[in-house]
Amino acid sequence: MEDYALSFWIYMGVMSVFVGGAMKKVLASHISAVPTLVAWLCVTVLVVRLCSLWPPAVLALAILCAVCYLLSGRGAPAHTLPTEGKAVLITGCDSGFGKATAHQLDALGFEVFATVLDLSGPGAVDLQRTCSSRLTLLQMDITQPQDVQQAFLTTKAKLGLRGLWGLVNNAGVCVNFGDAELSLMSNYRGCMEVNFFGTLNVTKMFLPLLRLAQGRLVTVSSPAGEQPFPCLAAYGASKAALGMFINTLRHELEPWGVKVSTILPSAFKTGQSINFEYWDKQYKNFVQNLSPGLLEEYGEEYMLETKELFQCHAKTAAEDLSPVINTITDALLSPQPQVRYYAGPGVGLMYFIYCYFPLSLSDKFLQRLFMKKKCHEQRHTKATIDSMVHQRFTGLQDVSLHTGQVTFFPVQ
């Protein structure tokens, strides 16, 4: 009886290791872990079957797990490439991810070319004051071809024959407000101009320097470019176009030795997202330019609630930018960088649900994030009532008037 109890507890210990490993993979933030998760689950089933057929296998597996655990604990730290002599250009360094990345890469020893919209702005001044002499500030609006050309010539002149080790496409904008039907055409064009055409122009311009160094192309994109986030149609469409371009480049640049990575961050407090005056200004511009017909159908209260929803998301966004900065650094320095990085709280789980759960469940997940509006529910109820009334009256075949009364003859 005592032997049975001992075997039982050893068995429970071994199964805890396997099941715990499986759960760890479920909660991991990288979708690439899913095949490993499947493998863990299959091995767990095999272990259960083996232990039921041959009890001594429990002890053998316990010893094996202990040995593997000890060996993994003594493993060498992850190898990274040296930064000496490597140059990186980062777009959009006035604030947010770009500015923080420029700080970190400069501290690691990279020669950093940081592009900003305003050389005299607070972001540029802070970078110049706090970073080393290796950092070079470049004025560049990625939507202006002459700015991109001048930044390229300056960078090429300083690098000589070394080439550019890394290009970090970080600059982007979310010029968007409201549902896809309500979003202004200027919002769609503004997002495409910056997020797609601007990044496209920068990438094409600097590719010869990247190929020369057999370097890294790192692009900060968004889950909104791959998942149908309500109220983010303009922004999402521009990021979807960018994603297709970058993924195509990944295949085309492989023979040249250039590795391509995409960063997919969750919500962070960066740029204008934390500026409530910005959202108020966007809202006023939005309502003033909306057609009277749409304004009447949706109602100004609905648009106001949309603005408040965006502001609420901005309040709850993460302040610590390190998850994104660390993934950019890994993409530049890892001997085998990942194709996709999921950076920030919740984004890995969101992708797991989107990719591996039924569409109905993933849709509910997105709607719970972005469709919490009371006005939306009221509008849905009104639309249902209107539809019922419409169906009732379209089912009438004839109308007769008798002494001021209306007689209805329904279709049989």
For the chain, helix, strand, coil in percent to 5 are 60, 10, 25
* 166 φ/ψ angles, rounded to the nearest 5 degrees: -140, 140
> Which pTM value belongs to this model?
0.73
Q: Which residues contact 233 (CB under 8 A, 6 or more apart)?
A: 176, 179, 180, 183, 188
Active site residues: 235
Q: Tell me how many degrees the CA angle 180-275-319 measures, rounded to the nearest 5.
A: 100
Domains defined along the chain, listed by start? 2-73 (no CATH), 87-268+318-370 (3.40.50.720)
Are 110 and 164 within 8 A, CB to CB? no
pLDDT tens across the length of the chain (412 residues): 555 555 556 656 655 665 555 455 444 444 444 544 555 555 555 665 555 655 565 556 566 655 554 544 444 446 889 999 999 999 999 999 999 999 999 999 999 999 999 999 999 999 999 999 999 999 999 999 999 999 999 999 999 889 999 999 999 988 666 788 888 888 899 999 999 999 999 999 999 999 999 999 999 999 988 888 888 899 999 999 999 999 999 999 999 999 999 999 988 877 666 666 777 777 787 788 888 888 888 887 887 887 777 777 777 777 789 899 999 999 999 999 999 999 988 888 878 878 888 888 878 877 776 655 555 545 544 555 455 444 544 444 443 333 333 333 333 3
Positive or negative: CA dihedral 203, 204, 209, 214: positive
